[in-house]
Amino acid sequence: MKKMKKYITMCVLGILPYVTLAQNEDKKIDLDAILLFDQMGEAIGELNSVSFHLSTITEEPGTDKDIKKLYNECDVKMVGPDKMSVKQHSMDTHSAYYYNGKVITYYSFKENNYVTVEAPSNIIDMIDFMHDNFSMDFPAADFFYPTFTDDIIENFNSITYIGLELLGGVECNLAKIENENVSVKIWISAEDHTLPKQFEITYKKKDNLKFQATFSDWQLNPELNDDIFEFEPPTSARLISVLIAKS
């Protein structure tokens, strides 16, 4: 996002559809896919603020070899470089995060309790801090990293542009990335704005269980008041003294 990050677009050399790089083992990289990821990153990087809805489906092993599906709905709002709120709701969880550039607060609507910790002064560093210290992950955060394309090239052996596909009535470009652990499909809108529409992760070493996330209700550069990112505890809410840090 603009002011949140400066997106560094990769220079794509040559016109061949595939290039093989030697890095421990050969990589198959489709330059059309790289260009697509860079266009998406540039579109996101130009935003001052954004909000979107994210619907996720997580597959887990069930009983008698059945697959259990867990559904979660998230509303995300961000203002670069240092404000974010996330509200999520599922069968088992109803919670929210509020980040104002100084502290981040986690609030459980279900338990009516909350905890606040000091956090780094920008969204990206805050996300890394919460993941590294408390194993907390934020929905679809990877798409907002300035190193998105570089991270894909570093961590995946196969990067392929599949082509156009209609998804939920929206024409999308589909790309697929793979390594030994996962196969990931990424749908990116081919319409007005080059924004992510959906991604699906297949875990190869976990019985091909899947995680799917679908973006909707994108609002680009909305006016978002600062109080959206400030947590005001309900009168009856209970303060938790400390988060359990990852050992």
Alpha helices in the chain (DSSP H): 31-45, 123-134, 148-155
Residue 6 lies in a domain: no
Residue 157 forms beta bridges with which residues? none
pLDDT digits (tens, 9 = 90+) for 94-104: 999 999 999 99
CATH number where 234 lies: 2.50.20.10
Q: Is residue 10 part of a domain?
A: no
Q: What is the pTM of this model?
A: 0.87
69-126-186-54 Cα dihedral, nearest 10 degrees: 50
The answer to the question of residue 161 being in a domain is yes
Domains held by the chain: number: 1
The confidence score (pLDDT) of residue 192 equals: 73
Percentage of the chain beyond pLDDT 70 is 87
Is 119 inside any structural domain?
yes
What is the C-alpha to C-alpha distance for residues 23 and 164, in angstroms, rounded to an integer?
A: 30
Give yes or no for a contact between 156 and 33, defined as CB atoms under 8 angstroms apart: no
Average pLDDT over residues 188-211: 95
| pLDDT, tens digit, 9 for 90 and up, residues 70-82 | 999 999 999 999 9
pLDDT at 64: 77
Q: Is residue 3 part of a domain?
A: no
Q: Identify whether 121 is part of a domain.
A: yes
- Mean per-residue pLDDT of the chain: 88
Q: What is the pLDDT of residue 171?
A: 97
58 is a domain residue? yes
78 CA to centre of own chain: 13
Domain that holds residue 25: 18-239
Question: Is residue 244 one of the residues assigned to a domain?
Answer: no
